[in-house]
Amino acid sequence: MNQTILLKWLQEGNINIPSTLLTHYKHLKLNEKELVLLLQVHYYLEKGNDFPTPTEIAAQMTLDIMDCREILSQLIRKGFIEIIEGNSDTGIRFERYSLEPLWNKLIEQFLLNNKKEEEALSEKEETDLYTCFEREFGRPLSPFEIETLNMWVDDDQHEIVIIKAALREAVISGKLNFRYIDRILFEWKKNGIKTIEQAKSHGKKFRQHQNTAYKVEQREETTNKKAVPFYNWLDQ
């Protein structure tokens, strides 16, 4: 007996519901009754019933037939459900529901939410960038410095992490000024440096070169020979 019931339950099958519909339906201005009715239509379409009646849908909901018919009409008017008319191979005219308008609206809303999240993240990163510079400089940035930062991000298309890495290089080199940082960014862009790992590697090589140049300079000063110029980003 139990096996028969379980078999019947398995034969009922499953339907696929996009999780985005459950998480974004309120952004589409759908209420819970409308959502459940849409899910019922989706269920019937999955089961091969392309045009369920309000009576059939209401039988699986707590709504009466009149309320079901009204909500169904609202969803059609609001552009969530489309009624498609056509003719079968035998010439019999038919009507069927399509949820394609719902899926299109859902995709648009999903992309819009993603865009808003990306813009919010970008705004936060830029705010953090200003804070990072002000902390290292020990003072508020001037309007010119803020404009320079905006130019690096908007015009030169430098990633926030790369700008922060250039700031770090300037701090380590003891040359904390915007002209020096701009030169670092210029050199990195010219050398195709786009990731923080590449920037760290390039900075390490640069500092090793500095140390080597400094040692050579010290030795040559000791032997009264012409000193080798100290390597500097600004001299490139």
Query: What's the rounded Cα separation, in Å, for the pair 151 and 177?
Result: 16
Whose tokens are 């990072």? That residue is: 132
Short-list 75, 83, 37, CA closest to 58:
37
Output the pLDDT for position 3: 74
Q: Is residue 178 a contact partner of residue 164, using CB atoms and an 8 Å limit?
A: no
Output the pLDDT for position 122: 76
Which stretches in the chain have pLDDT values below 70?
Answer: 1, 6, 9-11, 206-236
Q: DSSP class of residue 191? A: T
DSSP 91-123: S-EEEEEE-HHHHHHHHHHHHHHHHHHHHHHHH
Output the pLDDT for position 125: 79
The 10s digit of each residue's pLDDT in 39-85 is 999 999 999 999 999 999 999 999 999 999 999 999 999 999 999 99
Output the pLDDT for position 205: 73
Short-list 32, 29, 30, 53, CA closest to 41:
53
- Which structural domains are found in the chain, ordered by start? 11-106 (1.10.10.10), 141-235 (1.10.10.630)
3-class secondary-structure state, position 228: coil
Residue 179 CA, chain-centre distance (Å), reads 33
